[in-house]
Amino acid sequence: MISDELIQVMQTAQTVVVLTGAGVSAESGVPTFRDALTGLWENFDPAQLATPEAFQANPKLVWDWYASRREMLADVTPNAGHYALAELEQRYPYFYLITQNVDSLHQVAGNKSVIELHGNLQRVCCFNKLHVAENWDDSDGVPNCQQCGAMLRPDVVWFGEMLPEDAIDTAFAVSKSADVFISIGTSAEVQPAASLPVHALRGGATFIEINPHPTMLTNRADFVLPYPSGEVLPELVAALNLRR
């Protein structure tokens, strides 16, 4: 599964950039956005729950939906792939993990250099000025920001919103500087994240794709590992440890 050529590439790299998508979290049992529309929420359309307009029209409905998603994550733990990525971070002088996931599992596993493209479900911020709230009480409905009084909302990117400028700018900058770029568990269809591997290739990076299924970028990868990340990443780390 892990070739000698791939190990050599990983051994000589100084800057490693990783992009993760929903497939990594799915291995921990995290449902995708649409898969989570079950039970009380099965008759809702995502557009009713994940846009600024939806929040303005019915803030309590949207707040409760995201509160239910946080509760759903309460018992979810990182998988072997998450922990392998945390171990990889310790090996390189420059390591950056760009994620499209909002579940904090990379941080729980131990990764420090995490760039969150779509926000974080565990955080909330105010609707008007995006002040991040450390604590909140929603027992009486949607809470308000202690700094400006605006309603609090989940600190995630909704449909129709731009990605955080700092996050996407940093993601493109580090991708351009990568010696190795690893795309894991992402379909390579959602822009602008899908452009990051291309940006890395233009900068001269070796491109590794880890995904059980082919993607739009598979034919551009230097190495393709068509396996679940929780299976192949621990093997990659083990192989690197043997070659120290």
Active site residues: 118
DSSP state of 163: P
Measured distance CA(198)–CA(225) in Å, rounded: 18
Other beta carbons within 10 Å of 144: 16
In the block, tokens 């950056």 appear at: 96
Other beta carbons within 10 Å of 80: 19
Give residues with Cβ within 8 angstroms of 116, minimum separation 6.
99, 102, 164, 167
Measured distance CA(31)–CA(153) in Å, rounded: 21
